[in-house]
Structure 1
Amino acid sequence: MVDKNLVGSAILAALLAGSAGAQSRTITIGLGYIPNVQFAPFYTAEQQGYFKREGLNVKFQHGYVSELMPLLLQGKLDFVVGDPEDAILARVQGAPVKYVMAVYQKLPATLFSLPGEGIDAANDLRGKTIGIPGAFGSSYFALQAFLKANKLSERDVRLAPIGFTQLEAVRAKRVDAAVGFVNNEVVQLRASGIRPNTLDLTKAYPMVGAGLITTEKVLADAVAKKVVRAAQRGVTFTISNPQRAFEIATSAAYAGPNGGTLDVLKASVALMRGGAFVGAIDARNWGTAVGFLQTSGQVPKRFKPSDFYSGAYLDKSVK
């Protein structure tokens, strides 16, 4: 005999589940690079159900930020994870975008060299060849600010555009040093038994690192706070549970087994810490960094730092 009450309960549960599914909304987030453990906060936010808790289905699209930003402006993406400068330079050109959550509280840019090169301080760079991806992006701006802060100019060094081959170029001694990231090239060198010399560029250019960027159209929608809150929870989970976040990030559903190492994720977690709360935007650091971009001619003086970011969509209760 079938229990009619159980049947009724099952039907009701199915109807409720169907209703909730019908009300859910799909949002697409562009992750500005190949699948990698650096995006663990977003992978874990999906896997742990933080987006679903907000009534959202999430899709991720990987690609270079230069490819993703046009899709954001066309409405084909809802958010992009990119550097603050991606939002700044786009807005300077008239794009209605803003940076709304910091995944990294500190820019990971560094200048690294092999220990035998004797580059221990800024003045050791005189006459040296420095590899850079190109004359663009956060790492280039950080290097410019570092040189200026130490009374050096680009004429005092030789800048060599080498694309994203910094690690190979330094190892092969094609350059004396290169601009890279503390959670990438530096970690890889240490894993191979080499302890590179590093110069911190972020004191001269104290910008936050990668975070969420979106359009003013999306910000006018209630979904914006939901997406930001779910992402904040993903950051919190990653900071508190790096081993589990690593397992999620390198599962077949996300970055796969070639998506990076636990040491890379741990170095990334160190960059996520330090804000007033998870995802916080430091107005003072933004002011200093934007000020440099203005004095170097990248950003017109008519803009205020707050034109490029907003902390209004962050949930300060997320710890």
Structure 2
Amino acid sequence: MKKWLFSLIIFLLLLGGCGNDKGNGTNQENELKDLTVVLDWTPNTNHTGLYVAKDQGYFEEEGLNVEIIMPGEAGADQLVASGKADFGVSYQEAITEARIQGVPIVSIAAIIQHNTSGFASLKEKNITSPKDFEGKTYGGWGAPLEKAVLDSLMKQENADVEKVEIVNIGDTDFFTAMHQGIDFAWIYYGWTGVEAELRNEEINIVYLTDYSEKLDYYTPVLATNEEMIENDPETVKKFLKAVTKGYEFAIEKPDEAADILIEAVPDLDPDLVKASQKWLASKYQDDAPRWGEQKLEVWENYASWMFENGLLDEMLDAENAFTNEFLPE
């Protein structure tokens, strides 16, 4: 009984103390607004600006307490669209498909200005153009988009996509796959290409943008849902202000930014993070007037390519698929 009475007294004292704090029942720490941002994949240098914003206190400066979470089985887009995550890392191609299906997800910033992806292979395979895909085995993740992109590139050289064996390798590492019967795979140079350099593995890459300007889309991007934009635009603005500072830091100080990511995610290879960060520093903003800005023509071009290749049932309303409204001036 005495222990219970003592606990009650302590509780009442704490309650009284909270009541004296600005009269609103909160303390300074709890005044920060809790938010979540879900990654598209395991942490890498595409995400550095988020980790920098958290480490350097940029989120706190905007009154935000942001938790960076992994996607799990649901996937980032599904979590963001359903409101189970406030923000997420996505891709223009995924958002385009989602919006055609009525999913209310919106791109709010381009993490990287230009598409740096391509079909990579070990140099010994001598795959240097889409024509060379014939008779080879492609390792992918099982999306219809993959065959359509292969077909689009191969048609330009009168090659036949049906002569490519397409195998679903899931999340198998590129280098492992290359030594397990796979001839080529789709990679981002900023991570896997840089890793190849560090491994002294000579590779060839057929870049998508070398064959079609319509394939120079935004990948990856930051996204939120329409409800967040409509009901809490100030929070979206504050979030992007902090994130912008994070990516600007990574652009200006790639070595320090890499150290922040390594400290936050100790399982990452430090040499790869540092080399990748250095390579990506100039790619985040590139030729855009400010980090994160997106162009309507890029969204329209890619949507028209998807429609022409039978990947969309109707044309995208591109103006509602993205916004620059919340980026700092």
TM-score greater than 0.5 by the shorter chain: yes
AA in 1 matched with 2:32: S
Amino acid at match of 1:237: F
CA contact (8 A) 1:133 1:165 kept: no
Contact 1:130 / 1:158 at 8 angstroms: preserved in 2? yes
Please say if 1:241 is aligned against 2:253.
yes
How far apart in 2 are the matches of 1:98 and 1:143?
Answer: 27
> What per-residue deviation string (whole Å, max 9, x for no partner) do you get for residues 232-262 of structure 1?
11111111111101111011xx211425521
Instruction: Please give the residue correspondences for 1:152-191 in structure 2 after superposition, counting only pairs within 5 Å.
Output: 152-165=159-172, 167-169=174-176, 171-172=178-179, 174-191=181-198
- Distance in structure 2 (CA, Å) of the matches to 1:199 and 1:70: 31
Deviation at 1:67, TM superposition (A): 2.5
Q: CA offset at residue 143 of structure 1?
A: 3.7
Find the aligned partners of 1:285 and 1:150 in 2 and give their Cα distance: 25
TM-score, normalization by structure 2: 0.82
> Which is further off, 263-272 or 218-227?
263-272
**In the alignment, structure 1 residue 279 sits paired with structure 2 residue 292:** yes
User: Equivalents in 2 of 1:140, 1:32: separation in Å?
Assistant: 22
1:264 and 2:276 equivalent? yes
Cα deviation digits, residues 158-203 of structure 1 (max 9, x gap): 2222223252355316122222221222222221112211111134
Q: How does 1:1-319 map to 2 (within 5 A)?
A: 20-64=28-72, 66-136=74-144, 142-165=149-172, 167-169=174-176, 171-172=178-179, 174-203=181-210, 204=212, 205-220=215-230, 221=232, 222-251=234-263, 254-258=264-268, 260-274=272-286, 275-315=288-328, 317=329
Are 2:76 and 2:89, in contact at CA under 8 Å, matched by a contact in 1? no
Task: State percent identity of aligned pairs.
Answer: 23
Say if 1:302 and 1:190 are closer, same or farther in 2 by CA, change over 3 A: closer
User: Residues 292 and 193 (structure 1 numbering): CA distance in 2 closer, same or farther, change over 3 Å?
Assistant: same
Measure the CA separation in 2 of the matches of 1:165 and 1:19.
Answer: 47
Distance 2:81 2:294 in 1: 23
Q: Give CA-to-partner distance per residue, 1:31-75, whole Å, 9 cap, x none.
A: 111233431110001111211121111111112584333322332
Q: How far 1:110 sits from its partner (Å)?
A: 1.1
Partner amino acid, structure 1, of 2:192 = E
Q: CA deviation at 1:127?
A: 2.3
Would you say the 8 A contact 1:131–1:177 is kept in 2? yes
Whether contact under 8 Å (1:65, 1:82) holds in the other structure is no
Give the stretch that moved more between structures: 96-105 or 122-131.
122-131
Whole-Å Cα distance in 1 between the matches of residues 66 and 268 of structure 2?
23
Distance across 2 between alignment mates of 1:293 and 1:36: 28
TM-fit CA distance, 1:208 = 1.2
Change (3 A) 1:19 1:211: same
Shift of 1:306: 2.1
- Asked if 2 retains the 8 angstrom alpha-carbon contact of 1:32 and 1:64, the reply is no
The corresponding residue for 2:10 is none
Structure 1 residues 239-248 or 265-274, which shifts more?
Answer: 265-274
- What RMSD in Å do the two structures reach over aligned CA positions? 2.5
Consecutive unaligned residues in structure 1, runs of 5 or more? 1-13
Counterparts in 2 of 1:284 and 1:48: CA distance versus 1, 3 Å: same
Aligned to 2:15: none
Deviation string 1:7-50 (CA, Å, 9 cap, x unpaired) is xxxxxxx968x765454211111111123343111000111121
